[in-house]
Amino acid sequence: MKTVEAGDAADQIVNAVRRNYVEITIPSDLYYTNKLYNLMPVNASKVMLDFIQTGLDPHD
């Protein structure tokens, strides 16, 4: 996954606010991945995240 500079992200956010967008994805490459993830039932999305090992699990 590519990284996004803070200034570039801020520009995209300001642009989205000005255009009254309800939702944006930063980085934009993840747009379809995000949509697919939101279509899945909660348990399926948890299994998928565990499978790809995103490292986003809470730490003790």
- Which tens digit of pLDDT belongs to each residue from 5-45? 999 999 999 999 999 999 999 988 888 888 888 888 888 87
Q: How many Cβ atoms from other residues are within 10 Å of residue 45's Cβ?
A: 14
Whether the predicted pLDDT of 49 surpasses 80: no
Q: Print burial letters for 24-39: b (CB count within 10 Å at least 16), e (below 16).
A: eeeeeeeeeeeeeeee
Assign 3 a pLDDT band (cuts: 50, 70, 90): confident
Q: Decide which of 1 and 13 is more confident.
A: 13
Which among 28, 51, 26 has a CA at the least distance from the CA of 40?
51
